[in-house]
Amino acid sequence: MTVSENLQRLGVQLPVAPSPVGSYVPACQAGDLVFVSGVLPFVEGKILQPGKVGRELTVEQGAENSRIAIINALAILQQEIGDLSRIFRIVRLTGHVASAEGFVDQPAVINGASDLLVEVFGEKGRHARLALGAFELPLHAPIELELIVQVSSS
């Protein structure tokens, strides 16, 4: 199945790529690598569920926010490279989780993004990853993701 077919099968419709909330570009290509800036779980311009995982949000809600953030990252990539089928490999995902004191289940939260990447891209979606706890994130977001992908030239 193609990337588009997988997105459709999963019921995922890419939104308009979110605009930066600071002085940076959403993505930057260097050779065959594309670096996606920190992406938040925006839905229609707002953070879906602000707060910290382990306090205001459950692990499951955090994972859903992680999934929303990676969908936004895919929208940014589509805007940057034109066609998601150009993605040769998802190289690395970094996930920051706004965590309540004592919360240590960040990997389960970031699985919301990782699992979707594998569902959409198959083996090309398997990636290196870092899942970190953060005291605070911008706009009280529970999740912020960074993504590095390798693209083909055509």
Domains of the chain: 3-14+24-151 (3.30.1330.40)
Using one digit for the tens of pLDDT, what is the confidence trace for 26-39? 999 999 999 999 99
**Both tokens of residue 69?**
């953030």
41: left (phi over 0), alpha (psi -120 to 50) or beta: beta
**Both tokens of residue 9?**
């099968």
Q: Which of 51, 62, 48 is nearest to 113 (CA)?
A: 62
Q: Which of 131, 12, 123 is nearest to 74 (CA)?
A: 12
Using one digit for the tens of pLDDT, what is the confidence trace for 63-89? 999 999 999 999 999 999 999 999 999
pTM check: above 0.85:
yes
Tokens 């490279």 label which residue? 81
